[in-house]
Amino acid sequence: MKTIVLRPLVFITMIIWSVSGQIPTTLDGPFNPVTQKFDPSLRLGSDDLPMTHPRLKKNVTSYFPEQIALAISSANSMWVSWVTGDAQIGKNVTPLDPSAVGSEVWYGEQSGNYWKKQNGVSVIYNQLYPFDGLLNYTSGIIHHVKIDGLEPGSTYYYKCGDSSIPAMSNEHVFEMLPLPGPESYPRRIAVVGDLGLTTNTTTTIDHVVANMPSMVLMVGDLSYANQYLTTGGQGAPCFSCAFPDAPIRETYQPRWDGWGRFMEPLISRVPMMVIEGNHEIEPQAAGVTFESYLKRFAVPSKESGSNTNFYYSFDAGGVHFLMLGAYVDYNKTSAQYSWLQKDLGRLNRTVTPWLVAAWHSPWYNSYSSHYQEFECMRLEMEQLLYQYRVDIVFSGHVHAYERMNSVYNYSLDPCGPVYITVGDGGNIEKIDVDHADEPGKCPSLSDNVPEFGGVCHTNFTSGPAKGKFCWDKQPEWSAYRESSFGHGILEVVNSTYALWTWHRNQDIYKENSTGDQIYIVRQPESCVVSAQVTP
């Protein structure tokens, strides 16, 4: 095994190693598939948090900021977002004037000493349902300010709001991520998917906070506001089952406000990078979709040349992240594909050795739920990502955990990415437990039709599923799977080694909460980047 040179920031890694013994690496693989037996008690505790819950209630008055959040803009700048004013829900709603409240951030490197001020933009959005009995919604004023001139690795104190009213927030603090470089990485990156607002969500986020991340990667399906009627009430694990006569897939938009308040203690001091999932589609009048996602979150879209929140990229130290959209056009003729080619073509792997991609819907998935759902996207994009040697892919959507062996085109390949599904954040739809390879659990060809894109079921020409739709045993590319709520932590050690740890929620109060742990190892000498994509 190669010698690992550890940096001071990963002293926790050395402690983990010394306590639990040697941690496996992907160089030891491919591994024989493992399925951890499902614990049926984990289905309990997925009740939604009520809007009266202390962590969801509004605790400020008038135009004071709430739902404060950070997002990475660049190595020297950060987005600060927040909401002011009162959202409205009813048959007739009157939108607020976004210009009625200023968008200011005051910041500096010493507590109480704010040497610089930046102004930004403010917006509102509406969620409209022109149907009898359905209520409309108009948001509070959503503010986005980009603060710049920041030093990588430095700590900053800030307040946001409108100083002329005055209505400024309390002081918050954050630490900038390190400058991109081959030996410069965030301490810990938390990866969460399909979160929602349940009792399990609470456990997940409390566990994330206890793990002290320097960044949060949220891989879609955030608030689950679309599991409710516009009148609120009880959320449903299955919307179509509970509300079969609904004229449109309704949402209860105040859940978004509750979600912003719930997350604020974490994401007001740690940047959260998001990508859309299917629960963010939220169709409304005139075919409008994704309004809450597009208006509530600031992402480095213009900074990365995409000009849309649906897909973008950013650097976090020596890691380049690709945030791809599964619910917008991803075909080879699309704007997204063209942008992706350009973004990959600009990469300098001597500066950002690690290449990590994230999107909501997994390509590799052995669970019955969402099985083969996004084959069309895989067929369009997989070869491009493989030839540029993407190292890790994170997805959600399937409400369970699964880590793959390095794979390309359903074949074991040491140069293929390690695909990881973490759609087990704690949402109301509960955990997925059935595997497509189990007797009687293979979905039909008409199941799992995606909300966007076509169906591209393929008959496999090699491997255990040759000539079949489902495997008859756990596929060889599936290394480890377990039906549990949880989250992951990625700790990049150096330019070739990264420690991945998946934490089960049920073990949060135990000494060792590790459900799955492995060093993911890059092999740049043998897996050379090839910019030329063959047809």
* Cα distances (angstroms) measured from residue 266 to each of 167, 259, 307, 324, 496: 22, 12, 27, 24, 29
Q: Which run of H or of E encompasses 77?
A: strand 77-84
The one-letter amino acid code at 196 reads G
SS3 378: helix
Catalytic residue, from 172, 360, 370, 503: name it.
370
Count Cα atoms within 13 angstroms, Cβ side, for 449.
4
Cβ-proximal residues to 476 (8 Å cutoff; 6+ apart), any chain = 30, 33, 405, 412, 463, 464
Structure tokens at 142: 């959503």
SS3 219: coil
Structure tokens at 177: 């991520």
Q: What is the biggest distance separating any 2 CA atoms in the chain, rounded to whole angstroms?
A: 69
DSSP 28-57: G-SPPPEEEPP-GGGGS--PBPPTTSTTTS
Give the integer Cα–Cα distance in Å for 324 and 199.
29
Give the integer Cα–Cα distance in Å for 89 and 231.
9
β strands within 85-140, DSSP E: 88-90, 104-108, 116-119, 121-123, 126-127, 136-138
Sheet-wide strand order for 77-84 = 66-74, 77-84, 141-147, 121-123
Per residue, the 3-state secondary structure of 415-450, as one string, reads CCCEEEEECCCCCCCCCCCCECCCCCCCCCCCCCCC
Give the integer Cα–Cα distance in Å for 125 and 138.
6
360 is catalytic: no
The one-letter amino acid code at 437 reads D
* Cα distances (angstroms) measured from residue 230 to each of 14, 248, 276, 285: 50, 11, 21, 14
114 CB neighbour count, 10 Å cutoff: 17
- In the chain, % helix, strand, coil (3-state, to 5) comes to 20, 25, 55
Which residues are the active-site residues? 370
